[in-house]
Chains A and B, each alone.
Chain A
Amino acid sequence: MAVELYTRIEDYLDGVMNAQARQAFEAELHADPALAEALATVQEARERLRRQWMDEQADTALLSTLYQLGKSHFTGSSPADKKSGGGARIFRLPQAWWAAAAAMAILVVAWFFWRPPAQERLYVQYRAFPEADFAVRGGGSAEQPLQLAAEAFNREDYAAALPALRNYLQRWPDDTEARMFAGFCYMELKQFDAATTIFEQIGGSANAWSDEANWSLALAYLRQNKRSECIVALETIAPANGRYGDAQDLLKRLQ
């Protein structure tokens, strides 16, 4: 179905069509079952998702209660669990298993000595970049670097994505989304001054990326092992921020 039809479906559901357009659209609905089905699906999606978003806080609070109570009422004391976990059975491992266990122990020791520093491990654990999806912004050759940047970013080739983003940003310096992705690239390439400047600017103003920017600023400090700056940045992340849960979790691990 043509994308344009979804614009009309939305206008119809939002009640912004004039009487004439509405009448014409309703006639089309009667004549076209596929259009009627698309309308019903969009309407259902709007209602279900809206309700879920509205109830998110109440659901989280209820889940927390259920989780606490579940731990004390389902203790694994059922016959099935006793069967699998109870008793004092002694297992004897075959010799080949001992050899495998020894090899594993050597690997563990090696990993312990050569693993990345703690802050880098935490950074990798918490870093989760959104997918770059710079959809059509009006056509023209200006878009080309942006598409190249998105492809490079999504295959984690940040060194290739960054020049393309900078090229685009020379012409469109106010594109917040492109700046944000440039910030991600700088952070990945360990060019922290450039990354933190971008995150501070975006995080300090009201826009769709401010939540992500404030969280990314904390991650940039984390990766530089600037623990106290990281903690301050995490503490400024408000409960309404989509990254609040991650921020609280990381705070606990740092404190």
Chain B
Amino acid sequence: MHADTHYIQSLLENDHRGIAGIYSRFAARIERFVCANSGTADDACDIFQEALIAITRQARRPGFVLTCPFEAYLYMVCRGKWFNELKRRRRAAVTISETEGFKEEVDAGLLADSTLIESERDRLFRRFFDQLTENCRNLLKLSWTGISMEEVSINLGISYAYARKRKSECIAQLTEWIQASPEFSTLK
């Protein structure tokens, strides 16, 4: 476990003072990086925020251990997120070669890669779930958060048989969309 784990702890506990320390120490560097690569200070602010959310979600997973300096990890996640954002904006020839001296931080690179993939896959599944009808979303949310189908059908005022049938239709739609998405196979 790296000595910088206290930064992760601050994020997990939403400790305002500890997180303020993260901003004070690292925000300026990320802002310089984003602004040097076709972005603005507002872009940098968004990327920094997204990266911290992605790191926090990754840290909540069982077995997460910080094995590298937090700064290198944060920088690599911000760098990957900004690269993805530039691709989304369809900028021609997206190239970010700069690694600000973190090239040799192999652990940070590996940890950042898995964080970015998890974050993008979360986003992908959520995007398609949000495209389902409200009925489908309610039905899946109730049944996937541990409520039995009998209770779900009572809660929604529909028959048990109809609830089961409708749930399968909703899952079939969701699975079809996810599997047909090009990112589904590339984000692995």
Q: Does A200 contact B (CB under 8 A)?
A: no
- How many chain A residues touch B (CB < 8 A): the figure is 57
A207 at the interface (CB under 8 A from B): yes
In the complex formed, the residue of B with least CB distance to A59 is B53
Q: Decide: A79 near B35, CB < 8 A? Known: A53-B145, A135-B166, A208-B138.
A: yes
Main secondary structure of the interface of A (DSSP, over half): helix
Contact A78–B169 (Cβ < 8 Å): no
- Determine if B169 and A3 form an interchain contact, defined as CB atoms under 8 angstroms apart: yes
Q: Are B175 and A6 in contact (CB under 8 A)?
A: yes
- A89 beta carbon closer than 8 Å to chain B: no
Known: A6-B171, A80-B35. A208 touches B156 (CB 8 A): yes
Q: What is the CA–CA distance of A77 and B44 in the complex, to the nearest angstrom?
A: 11
Q: Does B117 contact A (CB under 8 A)?
A: no
What's the tally of chain B residues with a CB closer than 8 Å to chain A? 59
- CB pair B122–A62 under 8 Å, yes or no, is no
B155 touches A207 (CB 8 A): yes
Q: Is B167 in contact with A10, judged by CB distance below 8 angstroms? A: yes
- B133 touching A45 by the CB < 8 A rule? no
* A to B contact number (C-beta, < 8 Å): 151
Chain B 52-76 per-residue mask, 1 if CB under 8 angstroms from chain A, else 0: 1100110010000000000000000
Shortest C-beta distance, B158 to chain A (Å), equals: 8
Provide the residues of chain A in CB contact with B52, threshold 8 Å: 62, 66
Contact B129 A3 (CB under 8 A): no
A133 touches B171 (CB 8 A): no
B interface SS class: helix
**Contact call A73/B23, Cβ cutoff below 8 A:** yes
| Residue A32 is within 8 A (CB to CB) of chain B in the complex | no
B117-176 contacts to A (CB < 8 Å) = 121-122, 125-126, 129, 133-136, 138, 140-142, 144-145, 155-159, 162, 164-169, 171-172, 174-175
B133 adjacent to A176 (CB under 8 Å): no
Known: A78-B40, A135-B166. A62 touches B11 (CB 8 A): yes
Contact with A along B102-128 (1 / 0, CB 8 A): 000000000000000000011001100
Min CB–CB distance B187 → chain A (angstroms): 11
Closest chain-B Cβ to A11's Cβ sits at a distance in Å of: 9
Interface centre among A49, A58, A67 (most CB of B within 10 A): A49
Bound: A252/B69 CA distance, A = 44
Q: State which of A34-42, A102-110, A191-199 sits at the interface with chain B.
A: A34-42
CB of B95 closer than 8 Å to a CB of A: no
Residue from B28, B126, B133, B169 within 8 A of A49 (CB atoms): B126
- A55 B60 Cβ-Cβ under 8 A: yes
List chain B residues, Cβ under 8 A from A71. Answer: 45
The 5 sampled A-B contact pairs (Cβ below 8 Å) are A3-B172, A53-B145, A74-B45, A76-B41, A208-B142
> A residues bordering B, Cβ < 8 Å?
1, 3-4, 6-7, 9-10, 37-38, 41-42, 44-46, 48-53, 55, 58-59, 61-63, 65-67, 69-81, 84, 130-131, 133, 135-138, 174-177, 206-208
Binding site for A on B (CB under 8 A): 11, 14, 16, 19-20, 23-24, 27-28, 31-32, 35-36, 39-42, 44-45, 48-49, 52-53, 56-57, 60, 121-122, 125-126, 129, 133-136, 138, 140-142, 144-145, 155-159, 162, 164-169, 171-172, 174-175, 178-179
A-B pairs, 7 with minimum CB distance: A74-B45, A130-B134, A80-B35, A6-B168, A133-B133, A78-B35, A76-B41
